[in-house]
Copies of this chain bind each other. A is one copy, B any other.
Amino acid sequence: MYIPTLDDMTAARKRIAPYIHRTPVLTSSYLNDLTGAELFFKCENFQKAGAFKVRGACNAVFGLPENKLERGVATHSSGNHALSLSYAAGRRGIPCHVVMPRTAPQAKKDAVRGYGGIITECEPSTSSREEVFAKVEAETGADFVHPYNDSRVIAGQGTCSAELIEQVEGLDAVIAPIGGGGMISGTCLTLSSLAPEVKIYAAEPEQADDAARSFRAGHIIADDAPETVADGLKVPLKELTWHFVSNHVTDILTASEQEIIDAMKMIWKRMKIVMEPSSAVPLATILKNKQVFAGKRVGLIITGGNVDLDALPWMTGEKR
């Protein structure tokens, strides 16, 4: 297991600069008044392909050696990593193979194909996904880019907080959602070296709180198939991300489904930005832990904006 370093992050930053946005940081006087903290929203919903994941994907793709280009890259994902890897591969002109459950929403399949991704469908189970992926990998010889348990990906995600601390001075804390832990690991990688005084919090749905339970237990706990509106946060920690989480995170806070939906709607209404349910978890946890953040300058990572506008969670909330 190779643990990425600050040098890897710095190299990533240079490598991916031509293909990504330096995303803006927004503020809201309303949300500052409401929380008693000074909040700085790092808007990766405005990122290329609509999410921070394009940072890690671009770092993996543009760091590939010449002799691997022809065979391209492969991954399994039904979400932002699939989109981002397809985008990155398209920019480099190499093939990108994506294993995706046949039950994934048509809109997501269309978006991956829109960026040039080649989809192979599997059944919606872990065993089928692994079996189909192994076959695709063997047949194509493509380079496997894991959505988060990959040092290239983590180094890429670390570029986000490197920008944030340049954009906002004197941060006391940064909080980001946690699923598999890619963004949080990148944040730990960067801040533990460049700004070790900044506390790092992770925010997780109560209904998929395997990272919070792992954190308290001192070892990885993985749930089989948690259900949450924050659909980017269902996956478990793996060894690389556990390394960063267990060494550098101050705490992992959780919020209920309704708290996540309320925070999401509040951000849409007050800040006029479109973002995913996963991205609302940090604000939801701040609102229920005001004493932790009061008087502090807090960076929040708005991780992505790829949401189905025809099925917003407050529209379907009654059915939950």
A contact set with B: CB distance below 8 Å: 24, 26, 45-46, 50, 265, 268-269, 271-275, 305, 309-310, 312, 314-315
A305–B272 contact, CB under 8 A?
yes
Known: A24-B24, A314-B310, A315-B315. A275 touches B272 (CB 8 A): yes
Q: How far is the CB of A88 from chain B (nearest CB, A)?
A: 15
10 interchain residue pairs of minimum CB distance? A272-B305, A272-B274, A45-B272, A268-B274, A46-B272, A268-B309, A269-B309, A274-B274, A265-B309, A272-B273
Q: Which of B265, B272, B273, B310 contacts A50 (CB 8 A)?
A: B272
**Which residues from chain B contact A273 at a C-beta distance below 8 Å?**
272-274
For this complex, 24 residue pairs linking A to B, each with C-beta atoms less than 8 Å apart, are A24-B24, A26-B46, A45-B272, A46-B271, A46-B272, A50-B272, A265-B309, A268-B274, A268-B309, A269-B274, A269-B309, A272-B273, A272-B274, A272-B275, A272-B305, A273-B273, A273-B274, A274-B274, A309-B312, A309-B314, A310-B314, A310-B315, A312-B312, A315-B315
Chain B residues with CB below 8 A from A272, complex form: 45-46, 50, 273-275, 305
Residues of B within 8 A of A305 (CB): 272
CA distance A315 to B310 in the complex (A): 7
A68 to B314, CA, bound (A): 45
Most chain B CB neighbours (cut-off 10 Å) among A265, A269, A310, A312: A269
- Hey, which chain B residues are within 8 Å of A271, CB to CB? 46
How far is it, in angstroms, between the C-alpha of A305 and the C-alpha of B273 when the chains are bound? 9
Which chain B residues lie closer than 8 Å to A310 at the CB level? 314-315
Contacts of A46 in B (CB 8 A): 26, 271-272
A26 contacts across to B, CB distance below 8 A: 46
A171 CB to closest chain B CB (Å) equals: 22
Minimum CB–CB distance for A307 against chain B, Å: 9
In Å, the complex CA distance between A183 and B46 comes to 27
CB nearest neighbor in B for A310: B314
Point out the residues of chain B lying under 8 angstroms from A268, CB to CB: 274, 309
Q: How far is the CB of A9 from chain B (nearest CB, A)?
A: 26
A186 to chain B, nearest CB (A): 21
Q: Within 8 Å CB of A312, what residues of B? A: 309, 312
A139 to B314, CA, bound (A): 42
* Separation of A275 and B45 alpha carbons in the complex (Å): 16
A265 to B274, CA, bound (A): 11
Q: How far, in angstroms, from A50 to B312 measured CA to CA in the complex?
A: 21
Kindly list chain B residues whose C-beta atoms are within 8 Å of the C-beta of A45: 272
A302 and chain B: residue at smallest CB distance: B272
CA distance A310 to B269 in the complex (A): 11
Within the assembled complex, what's the spacing in Å between the Cα atoms of A309 and B273? 12
Complex formed: what's the CA distance from A24 to B271 in Å? 13
CB neighbours (8 Å) of A314 from chain B are 309-310
Chain B residues near A24 (CB, 8 Å)? Answer: 24
Nearest chain B CB to A69 CB, angstrom units: 24
Question: What 6 additional pairs, Cβ within 8 angstroms, besides A24-B24, A46-B271, A272-B274?
Answer: A268-B274, A269-B274, A269-B309, A272-B305, A309-B314, A312-B312
